[in-house]
């Protein structure tokens, strides 16, 4: 897990979010709203597919515009196996880590893969990639 993950505000533009990703050297950021409540996760792919590829100016779109539904999360005490199952079930490669209602970090497939046997990781990666 990457601890002390920074959020992009629902009110920040996609350009600001992209610069934040560049500066932090990450491909995804949690989107936080009022009182730092998790509103979603924004990926570099989201910016490309939902904005750039549609010829929409990323300066005019807010991160909150791409936050849809309840974000998929994992608990701080959940096991590596449960984390991979959640990733597979929701076909995501990164998850916000929550302790109670507080965001404490982000976990990526690679983080979990280092903790589990290769055969388990391989099976789950196939599911996530389907």
pLDDT (0 to 100) of residue 125: 65
- What pLDDT is recorded for position 109? 84
Residue 60 sits at the vertex; the CA angle it makes with 54 and 65, to the nearest 5 degrees, is 75
DSSP 108: E
- Residue 68 DSSP symbol: -
Over residues 11-23, mean pLDDT: 97
Strands 2-3 and 102-108: antiparallel
Cα 6 from Cα 115, distance rounded (Å): 24
Q: Compute the distance between CA of residue 14 and CA of residue 65 in angstroms, rounded to an integer.
A: 9
Residue pLDDT, tens place only, 66-123: 987 788 999 999 988 899 889 889 988 899 999 887 889 999 888 887 877 777 667 6
Q: What pLDDT is recorded for position 24?
A: 93
Average pLDDT, the chain: 88
Q: What is the pLDDT at residue 76?
A: 92
Confidence class for position 30, pLDDT limits 50, 70, 90: very high
Residue 129: its pLDDT value, please? Answer: 66
Q: At what angle do helices 118-129 and 80-90 cross, to 10 degrees?
A: 20
Task: Look at residue 81 in the predicted model and tell me its pLDDT.
Answer: 83
Q: For residues 20 and 57, what is the distance between their CA atoms, to the nearest angstrom?
A: 17
Nearest 5°: the CA angle 24, 70, 17 is 25
User: Coil, strand or helix: which one is 39?
Assistant: strand
């Amino acid at each position: 897990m990457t601890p002390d993950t920074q959020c992009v505000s629902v009110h920040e533009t996609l350009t600001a979010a992209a610069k934040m990703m560049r500066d932090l050297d990450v491909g995804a950021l949690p989107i936080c709203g009022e009182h730092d409540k998790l509103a979603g996760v924004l990926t570099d792919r989201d910016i490309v597919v939902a904005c750039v590829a549609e010829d929409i100016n990323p300066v005019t779109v807010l991160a909150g515009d791409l936050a849809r539904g309840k974000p998929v999360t994992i608990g701080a005490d959940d096991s590596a196996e449960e984390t991979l199952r959640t990733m597979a079930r929701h076909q995501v490669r990164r998850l916000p880590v929550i302790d109670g209602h507080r965001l404490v970090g982000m976990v990526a497939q690679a983080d979990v893969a280092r903790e589990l046997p290769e055969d388990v990781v391989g099976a789950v990666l196939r599911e996530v990639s389907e």
